Structure formats: structure tokens, C-alpha cells
């Protein structure tokens, strides 16, 4: 999928590439959706164990949040098919896929946000923030760098998502999520 930059592959393509028997692939995964789900579940499990590790570090909640933002954007960049797969499984696939995506992707990530936000609030670092709304805004913003970029690329001044664009977006998201867009003067005025 990385080679072709597409999730439009068949079980027999996969069998051929991997040197496995097509019937064996089909026996093991049932069908293409089964294989895609297994792939996403594997990558998601790796990312989720990283989150547990991150939460246990002896650093501030703010530092954890910044590392998390960078981690999501880098994971999407490293596995470009992950984003497409999630969209595919949520929208086009057989019934039940959305439940699976929810179980191994949405639910653990949302749980991580709940715990990180609670920690940040209890330490006086974060404003009180609803975890579901926070999840929606952070994951949506990270997802959008990769989804629909080919349409954005047609607009003036928008290029492909290079390593450099990823680094810029990580910096942008850290700044925006932590401090917002207002200058400190304006913020003080808005607060006062």
C-alpha cells in the first residue's frame, strides 16, 4: 500500500508480493477487510503501548501533550495507509468494521486523552477541557494534514506533505493547542 500510495490492492496482490499462497491469505483473514483490520489493529496496538509509556514518564502534562501531538502526526506520516484505512473502514466497508475501529483506535485514544487532561487540570497546567471535544479537535486536525491533501494541493501555495511540512505542522499544532492564536496582549484583554 505504501508502494502504490493506495489501499486499492487485492488479496492476490498481497499473496504474490509476500510469497504466500492466496488461498492461505484468504483462509487466515477471511477477506480483504479482515486483512486491513488486522493490519490497522497491529499498528494501533504499537501506538497505544507508546501512549501508556508516555503517560508514565516523570515530565509535565504539557510536555506529554506536545510529545503526543508529534507522535500522532509522525505515525500518520510513517504509515500513510493508516489514515486511508480508517476512512475506508469507517465509510465504505462491511458492517462491523466501525465497531472494530472504535475498539482498538478510538476508545484507547480517547481514554488516553481523558487521563492526560485530568492530570494536566489537577496539576494546574490545563484549563478544564471536555475530553470528547478535545479528542475530536486534535485527531481531526492531525488527520486533515493527510486526508484530502491532494485536493488542497491544487490550491495556490499548497505543496505535498514532506518531512519538513510534518515538522512545521507539529510545531504549529503544539503552539495552537497549547497557547492558541491570540497574542498575549489580546488574550489578557479577552480574559479581562
Binding status of residue 141 toward a copy of itself by CB under 8 A: yes
19 Rama class: left (phi>0) / alpha (psi -120 to 50) / beta: left
Name which position in 77, 101, 104, 112 contacts a copy of itself (CB under 8 A).
Answer: 101
Binding status of residue 90 toward a copy of itself by CB under 8 A: yes
In the complex, the smallest distance separating the C-beta of residue 167 from a copy of itself, rounded to whole angstroms, is 11
Binding status of residue 154 toward a copy of itself by CB under 8 A: yes
Give the footprint of a copy of itself on residues 24-63 (CB under 8 A): 62
Report the C-alpha dihedral over residues 113, 163, 143, 177, rounded to 10 degrees. Answer: 50
Binding status of residue 145 toward a copy of itself by CB under 8 A: yes
C-alpha cell at 158: 499548497
Name which position in 13, 43, 119, 143 contacts a copy of itself (CB under 8 A).
Answer: 143
Give the CA distances from residue 65 to residues 42, 60, 178, in Å, rounded to whole numbers and listed in that order.
Answer: 23, 9, 9
Half-sphere exposure at residue 19, Cβ-oriented, CA atoms within 13 angstroms = 0
Task: Provide CB contacts within 8 A for 77, sequence distance 6+.
Answer: 146, 161, 163, 166
The residue written with cell numbers 518531512 in the block is 163
Looking at 16-24, 28-36, 37-45, 171-179, which segment touches a copy of itself (CB under 8 A)?
171-179
C-alpha cell at 48: 497505544
Binding status of residue 163 toward a copy of itself by CB under 8 A: no
Binding status of residue 138 toward a copy of itself by CB under 8 A: yes
Binding status of residue 134 toward a copy of itself by CB under 8 A: yes
Closest CA to 40 of 94, 114, 132, 102: 102
Residues of this chain that bind a copy of itself (CB under 8 A): 62, 65, 86-87, 90-92, 98-99, 101-103, 106-107, 110, 120, 124-127, 129-145, 147-148, 150-152, 154-158, 168-169, 172-173, 175-187, 190-191
Amino acid at each position: 500500500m505504501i508502494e502504490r500510495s493506495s489501499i486499492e490492492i487485492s488479496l492476490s496482490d498481497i499473496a504474490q508480493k509476500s510469497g504466500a499462497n492466496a488461498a492461505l491469505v484468504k483462509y487466515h483473514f477471511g477477506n480483504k477487510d479482515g486483512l486491513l483490520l488486522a493490519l490497522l489493529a497491529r499498528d494501533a496496538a504499537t501506538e497505544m503501548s507508546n501512549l501508556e509509556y508516555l503517560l508514565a514518564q516523570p515530565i509535565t502534562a504539557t510536555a506529554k501533550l506536545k510529545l503526543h501531538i508529534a507522535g500522532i502526526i509522525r505515525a500518520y506520516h510513517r504509515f500513510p495507509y493508516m489514515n486511508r484505512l480508517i476512512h475506508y473502514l469507517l465509510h465504505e466497508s462491511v458492517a462491523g468494521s466501525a465497531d472494530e475501529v472504535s475498539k482498538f483506535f478510538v476508545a484507547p485514544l480517547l481514554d488516553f486523552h481523558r487521563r492526560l487532561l485530568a492530570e494536566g487540570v489537577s496539576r494546574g497546567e490545563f484549563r478544564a477541557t471536555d475530553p470528547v471535544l478535545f479528542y475530536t479537535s486534535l485527531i481531526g486536525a492531525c488527520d486533515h494534514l493527510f486526508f484530502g491533501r491532494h485536493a488542497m494541493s491544487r490550491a495556490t501555495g499548497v505543496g505535498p506533505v514532506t518531512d519538513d511540512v510534518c515538522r512545521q505542522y507539529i510545531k504549529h499544532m503544539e503552539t495552537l493547542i497549547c497557547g492558541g492564536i491570540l497574542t498575549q496582549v489580546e488574550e489578557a484583554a479577552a480574559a479581562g
